[in-house]
Amino acid sequence: MANNQGESGLTSKDYYFDSYAHFGIHEEMLKDEVRTLSYRASIYNNKHLFQDKIVLDVGCGTGILSMFAAKSGAKHVYGIDMSNIIIQARKIVDDNGLTDKITLIQGKMEDVKLPVDKVDIIISEWMGYFLLYESMLDTVLVARDKYLAPGGMIFPDKATMYIAAIEDGDYKEEKIDYWDNVYGFDYSSIKSLAIKEPLVDTVDARAVVTTPCAFREIDILTVQKSDLTFTVPFKITAARDDYVHAFISWFDIGFTHCHKPVHFSTGPHAKYTHWKQTVFYTPEAITVKNGETIEGVLSCSPNGINPRDLDIVIDYSFNGNHGSIKEHCEFKM
Ligand code: SAH
């Protein structure tokens, strides 16, 4: 997924689906080759899993995953999407001679009644920024609980979330400290807003100062909606002497049913994806020496008013050669 509703300030349900109606957002996702080629490999290289199976594509968009599944031998594919992009998907499926294999249904997955009771495989590309932004995983879980046959498979079926810390002095100055003095005026009231908003951006792998910590592993086959509200500890270790200006987070995705498991990462060390990384600036820089650790607790929950938004809290403490820090930082994305 590629939705950045937060930037526009529009967060209504209508806006959410409208934003997927234009081909531009789908262009960004299709052109994300790490994303799309991973899905394709997981489907094309596993014809033995797809042969003669009933497949459900949750949020089919332009129909790309449905067509991969049909080409991989599925008996029939049902593609569901609420957005008007499905009108294009119908044309595309037709233009590719796959209408007899793929049925596209416009509607909210939560409300749609499929013409079959059960499906063998669910495919979906539901991942948002910081993995969980937009909460589309909730929709996949509804589809799973309603339609997945016992022993059925989900593509992808594993997600792992990571945290690390970075040196980012120059950019922090540009994005956060900028508000201290705007043409001679005190704009620091905006600074306190800006620091609360995680920044979705690409981070140079060389900026990463610490070891990564996998703080959350999600098994899509078994996870419950309530598990997506969580508080977890983390511990990261400085790999050199440096300053820390922010935490960053990213996720890896796994298709482990495959004959040869397919994985991709959205981390700073991996090839660019449209998910980039998510940056959480700390109020003060932390001076770390090689081997010193930052310990903390990260909480994540859907926002009470708009459940597609996320409230993220990072509490951390550091006891180092160059000082001690204890902070409580609240973010909203
Ligand atoms: N599968 C496509 C599109 C992924 S983007 C691809 O891989 O390129 C996610 C899509 O899910 C969007 O088109 C969005 O409209 C749709 N979507 C999100 N939540 C939905 C819901 N609850 N019901 C139906 N469609 C949904």
pLDDT average, residue stretch 230-255: 98
Ligand 1 site, residue 17, Cβ cutoff 6 A: yes
Residues 51-81 pLDDT 10s: 999 999 999 999 999 999 999 999 999 999 9
Residue 174 and residue 81 in one domain? no
Which residue has a Cα nearest atom 5 of ligand 1?
Answer: 1
pLDDT average, residue stretch 157-186: 97
Would 140 be classed as within a structural domain?
Answer: no
| Cα-to-centroid distance, 153 and ligand 1 (Å) | 19
Residue 85 and residue 205 in one domain? no
Among the options 7, 33, 110, 134, which is catalytic? 134
Q: For ligand 1, pick from 81, 141, 146 the residue to mutate: most ligand atoms within 8 Å of CB.
A: 81
Residue 307 and residue 167 in one domain? yes
Output the pLDDT for position 16.
83
Query: How many structural domains are present in the chain?
Result: 2
Would 135 be classed as within a structural domain?
Answer: no
Residue 246 and residue 322 in one domain? yes
Respond yes or no: is residue 125 known to be catalytic: yes
Atom of ligand 1 nearest to the CA of 66: 1
Output the pLDDT for position 308.
87
- The residue among 109, 125, 141 that closes a domain is 125
- In the predicted model, is pLDDT for residue 174 greater than 70? yes
pLDDT average, residue stretch 199-209: 97
Residue 68 and residue 176 in one domain? no
Domain span at residue 191 reads 159-332
Would 169 be classed as within a structural domain?
Answer: yes
CATH number at residue 15: 3.40.50.150
Residue 45 and residue 168 in one domain? no
- In the predicted model, is pLDDT for residue 7 greater than 50? no
Would 237 be classed as within a structural domain?
Answer: yes
SS (HEC) of the chain: CCCCHHHHCCCCHHHHHHCCCCHHHHHHHHHCHHHHHHHHHHHHCCHHHHCCCEEEEECCCCCHHHHHHHHCCCCEEEEEECCCHHHHHHHHHHHCCCCCCEEEEECCCCCCCCCCCCEEEEEECCCECCECCCCHHHHHHHHHHHHEEEEEEEECCEEEEEEEEECCHHHHHHHCHHHHCECCECCHHHHHHHCCCCEEECCCHHHECECCEEEEEEECCCCCHHHHCEEEEEEEEECCCEEEEEEEEEEEEEECCCCCCEEEECCCCCCCCCCCEEEEEEEEEEEECCCCEEEEEEEEEECCCCCCCEEEEEEEEEEECCEEEEEEEEEEC
Would 322 be classed as within a structural domain?
Answer: yes
Residue 112 and residue 207 in one domain? no
pLDDT average, residue stretch 22-38: 96
| Cα-to-centroid distance, 158 and ligand 1 (Å) | 19
Residue 328 and residue 198 in one domain? yes
Residue 198 and residue 268 in one domain? yes
Output the pLDDT for position 18.
86
Ligand 1 site, residue 198, Cβ cutoff 6 A: no
pLDDT band at 3 (very low <50, low <70, confident <90, very high): low
- In the predicted model, is pLDDT for residue 253 greater than 50? yes
Residues 182-199 pLDDT 10s: 999 999 999 999 999 999
Residue 178 and residue 280 in one domain? yes
